[in-house]
Amino acid sequence: MSDTLANLLSETRQFPPPAELAAAANVTDAAFEEAKADRLEFWAAQARRLHWHRPFAEILDWSNPPFAKWFADGQLNVAYNCLDRHIEAGRGSKVAIHWEGEPGDTRTITYADLHRTVSQAANALTDLGVTAGDRVAIYMPMIPEAAVAMLACARIGATHSVVFGGFSADALSGRIQDADAKVVITADGGYRRGKPSALKPTVDEAVSRCPSIEKVLVVRRTEQEVDWTDGRDVWWHDVVDSASPEHEAQPFDAEHPLFILYTSGTTAKPKGILHTTGGYLTQASWTTHAVFDLKPDTDVYWCTADIGWVTGHSYIVYGPLSNGATQVMYEGTPDTPHRGRFWEIIEKYKVSILYTAPTAIRTFMKWGDDIPAKFDLSSLRIIGSVGEPINPEAWMWYREHIGHNNAPVVDTWWQTETGAQMISPLPGVTAAKPGSAMGPLPGIAADVIDDGGNSVPPGGGGFLVLREPWPSMLRTIWGDDKRFIETYWSRFGAGAEAGDEWIYFAGDGAKRDDDGHLWLLGRVDDVMLVSGHNISTTEVESALVSHPKVAEAAVVGATDPTTGQAIVAFTILRGDVPEDEAQGDALAQELRNHVAKTLGPIAKPRQIMVVPELPKTRSGKIMRRLLKDVAENRSLGDVTTLQDSSVMDLISSGLKTGKDED
C-alpha cells in the first residue's frame, strides 16, 4: 500500500447481546477496565486460572525484544492442566469428546478415558526413545488419537509439529527435516468424502528422505493395507494399549517449546512458528472462556477446524480441554453423506457453541437456507467465525439461519503467529456489527497505522499492528531468528529504526470505522491499486456477496493500461439462480452496477466471471494469487461470463502444479 487503504463500505446494523446471556457472561466489561489499569497483572490473573507446579513471580521479560518471555520462572504441565486437574476435581466421568466418524461410527471419551490414553501414549513415546525437547511430527486424520498424540507430547515435554493430513509427501518431509523430528505419529488413513483416504504411503515416501526419523507410530483407523518397515514402524494398538496407564506429569518451564506449526503465508518456504508453554496456554485457555463464554457444566462446544491448523490446536485441544469442556470432534466433510451433516450433528449432540470458517458459511449459503431449516438448531447460543474476513451478508445469513437471530456471532481475528484470539467481540458485552471483528480483547494492544507509522483516525484504513507483546505470541521462527525479525518486526517501530517501540506487523489491512471499531480487510499483499486508490479485496467481495444472487466472491487487481490495476471478480451464485441467467451478460452487468452503487464507481469491477468453485488453500482461504494469474494471462472480453471449464481448468492446472499452501 502506498497510501492508506480506502474505506468504502458502511454498515449501520448492530446487535447487542441477549440480556440473559449478558447477565450470566463469564467475562464482562470489567475485564477491559482491569486490563487497562494493569495489562501485565491482568494477564497474570488469567495465567493463575491454570495449575502451576511452580508459581511464577515474573510476568513478562521484554528486555530483549522482539524475543519475549512470559511467566519465565514458573513451571507447569500442559497435559496436567487439560486432564489431571479436572479428574482431581471429581470430573473424570464428564465427557471430553463426543467423536463422530465420517461413516457414522461414534466414540464417547470421558476425561478419565482421555487421561488414561494420554498417559499410556506418554509412556509409549518414552519407550520409543522420545524425551523432553525432542520433536515429534503428527500426521493424522481427525480421530481422537490426534488429540491424544498432541497431549502425550505435551505431557513429556516433546515438541509436536502437526502437519495437515492433506499435505503431500514433499510438504511433510520438508517440515520433518526442518524440525529434525525423531518420530512420526500417523494412521493407516482416515475417512473423507465417503471413502478411506490413505496416509501411511505418504509418510513412507516422506520418511525415506528423513534420516532423523527413528520410529513411525501408526494408528489403525481404516484397516487399509499398509507397507511395513520392521524396526521402524510400530502399531499404536500394540505399544499404546499395552503401556502402563500410570504416568506422573512433570513440570516444564513456562518457556519450554510446546509446538511448532508451519505456515506458508505469502512466501514459498514455510515458516515454523514456535509456541511455548505457559503464555500460550494462558491465552488459549482464557480466550476460550471469554470469547465463547464457555460453561463447562452445560455447554457442548464444537470447532469444525482440522487439528492440522492453529485453530485445531488452540480451540479443539488446548483451549477447550484446559477449561474442562465437553466437545464434539468430527472426522469428515460437511457434505458426507448429505449437505445437512453439520446441522444433524448439532441437533444430535445439542451443540451450544459452534466455531467455523467463512468459507464453510458461504458454502452453506450457496447450498440453500432450506438445508439447515430441516434441523433443530435451537441449542446454539454462540456462533463463531475465523480464518478470513466474514462478509456482512454471510454474517447476517449465519446469524439468521444458524443462530436463529439470537446467538451472538463472534468474528475472531488471529493468526498462527498470535497463537490465540486477539480481536473479537465478547458475546456478553459487545453489540456486534456484521462483518466487523470489533475491537482488541482485553490486554491486547491492536492498532491500525499508516505508512508513516501513525495511528489512523476513525474512518481511516491502513496496516494492522500489535503494539505490545501478548502471552501466546510466537517466540520465533524455528531455527531462524533473523527471518522472525524481518517478517514481523522490521516494517515499523524499533525494528525499522523508527522509534523505540517494537511493533508487530500482522500483514493484514484493516480500517477503523467512525465508532472506532475494527474491520479486517485481507492480506496487504492482495490490496488493489486502482487509479491511485488502495482498494481492499474484502470490501469489493463483501459488496458482491451483499447481492441476493451471490454466495461467494473473490476479486483481484489485474494489470490495466488505463487504471494501473482493474478489478476482476470471480463469483459463485446462490443455489437458486437459474443456469441461463447465471450465464447471461445481464447478470454480470447487474453485479458490476451493484458494486458501483454500494462502494462507489472507483470499485466497479472491470469484469465479472461466474464460476462454480474458487481456488482455496487447504484451510479454506481463497487463493487470490492464482486468480490473478488467470485474470492477467488471458484477454477476456469486457464483461465475460465464463462457463465452468476454461477459467477453472486453467486454475486447476495451476493448482496441480502449485505448491501446498496452508
Q: Is 599 left (phi over 0), alpha (psi -120 to 50) or beta?
A: alpha
Near ligand 6R9 in 252-311, by CB under 6 A: 263, 309-311
Out of 181, 386, 544, 550, name the contact with ligand 6R9 by CB under 6 A: 386
Residue from 661, 654, 657 nearest 631 by CA: 654
**Smallest separation (angstroms) from ligand 6R9 to the CB of 138:** 17
Judged by beta carbon, residue 189 or residue 265, the one nearer ligand 6R9 is 265
Which of 178/411 has CB closer to ligand 6R9?
A: 411
Annotated binding residue 193 = yes
> How far apart are CB 511 and ligand 6R9 at their closest, in Å?
12
Is 263 within any annotated ligand binding site? no
Measured from the CB atom, the residue of 445 and 577 that comes closer to ligand 6R9 is 445
Using the rule CB under 6 A, give the single segment among 94-102, 250-258, 383-391, 540-548 that binds ligand 6R9: 383-391
To the question of whether residue 601 is assigned a binding role by annotation, the answer is no
Quick one: which segment of 64-72, 106-114, 372-380, 413-421 binds ligand 6R9 (CB under 6 A)? Answer: 413-421
Of 75 and 436, CB closest to ligand 6R9: 436
| Rounded Cα distance, 471 and 309, in Å | 19
418 Cβ contact list (under 8 Å, min separation 6): 466, 470, 472, 473, 474, 506
654 is in an annotated binding site: no
Say whether residue 324 binds ligand 6R9 (CB under 6 A): no
- 273 grid coordinates: 512458528
523 binds ligand 6R9 (CB under 6 A): yes
Determine the interface stretch with ligand 6R9 among 15-23, 374-382, 385-393, 490-498 (rule: CB under 6 A): 385-393
How many chain residues are in contact with ligand 6R9, going by CB under 6 A? 21
414 binds ligand 6R9 (CB under 6 A): yes
Is 84 near ligand 6R9 (CB under 6 A)? Answer: no
For ligand 6R9, the binding residue among 359, 412, 436, 487 (CB under 6 A) is 412
CB of residue 474 to ligand 6R9, shortest distance in Å: 10
Residue 289 to residue 278: CA distance in whole angstroms = 17
The Cα 287–Cα 444 span in angstroms is 12
Q: Annotation-wise, does 412 bind a ligand?
A: yes
**Sites for ligand 6R9 among residues 435-454 (CB under 6 A):** 437
Q: Is 520 a binder of ligand 6R9 (CB under 6 A)?
A: yes
Q: Does 389 sit near ligand 6R9 (CB under 6 A)?
A: yes
Contact (CB, 8 A) for 343 and 370: no
Choice between 413 and 502, CB closer to ligand 6R9 = 413
Among 110, 322, 416, 536, binds ligand 6R9 (CB under 6 A): 416
Element (H, E) at 342: helix 341-349
CA-CA distance, 192 to 214, in Å (whole number)? Answer: 29
Candidate list 320, 387, 435, 439; residue touching ligand 6R9; CB under 6 A: 387
**Stretch binding ligand 6R9 (CB under 6 A), from 60-68, 204-212, 400-408, 411-419:** 411-419
User: Which among 40-48, 192-200, 209-217, 386-394 is the span making contact with ligand 6R9, rule CB under 6 A?
Assistant: 386-394
* Preceding omega of 66 cis (within 30 degrees of 0): yes
CB of 131 to ligand 6R9, least distance (A): 30
d(CA 442, CA 312): 23
Q: 274-277 long-range CB contacts below 8 Å, 24 or more apart?
A: 274/474, 274/475, 274/476, 274/477, 274/478, 275/419, 275/472, 275/474, 275/475, 276/70, 276/475, 277/76, 277/78, 277/252, 277/253
Cβ-based nearer residue to ligand 6R9, 236 or 259:
259
Calculate the alpha carbon distances from 525 to 318, 405, 455 in Å: 31, 35, 20
- Spatial separation of the C-alpha atoms in residues 656 and 615, rounded to whole Å: 11
The 609-628 site mask, x for binding ligand 6R9 (CB under 6 A), equals ----------x---------
Cα 509 to Cα 7, 347, 473, 573: the distances in Å are 11, 38, 19, 27
The annotation status of 579 as a binding-site residue, yes or no, is no
Residue placing its CB nearer to ligand 6R9 in the complex, 311 or 640: 311
Report the 10 Å Cβ neighbour count for 24: 10
Identify the CA nearest to 480 among candidates 301, 254, 269.
269
Is there a binding annotation on residue 531?
Answer: yes
DSSP for 489-504 reads HSSSBGGGTSSSSB-E
**Does 505 sit near ligand 6R9 (CB under 6 A)?**
no
Query: From CA 70, how far away is CA 282, in angstroms rounded?
Result: 10
CB of 630 to ligand 6R9, least distance (A): 22
Q: CA separation (Å) from 285 to 51, 150, 469, 613? A: 12, 16, 17, 36
Q: Using the rule CB under 6 A, give the single segment among 73-81, 182-190, 226-234, 412-420 that binds ligand 6R9.
A: 412-420
388 is in an annotated binding site: yes
| 550 among annotated binding-site residues | yes
Residue 411 marked in a binding site: yes
Report the candidate in 213, 223, 153 with the shortest Cα–Cα distance to residue 183: 213
113 is in an annotated binding site: no
Q: Which stretch binds ligand 6R9 (CB under 6 A): 58-66, 176-184, 274-282, 414-422?
A: 414-422
Cell of 357: 470458517
Pairing status of strand 564-573 against strand 550-560? antiparallel
Query: Quick check: 117 binds ligand 6R9 (CB under 6 A)?
Result: no
Q: Any contact of residue 472 with ligand 6R9 (CB under 6 A)?
A: no
- Among the listed ranges 82-90, 111-119, 384-392, 439-447, the one in contact with ligand 6R9 (CB under 6 A) is 384-392
Nearer to ligand 6R9, 293 or 508 (CB): 508
Contacts of 25 (CB under 8 A, 6+ apart): 17, 293, 426, 427, 428, 429
Q: Hunting for cell 484477454 — which residue is that? A: 635
User: What is the residue type of 236?
Assistant: W
Q: How far is it, in rounded angstroms, from Cα 3 to Cα 452?
A: 9
Residue 456 marked ligand-binding? no
Angle separating helix axes 644-657 and 624-633, nearest 10 degrees: 120
Positions that interact with ligand 6R9 (CB under 6 A): 263, 309-311, 386-389, 411-416, 437, 506-508, 520, 523, 619
Q: Binding site membership for CoA: which residues?
A: 192-195, 311, 531
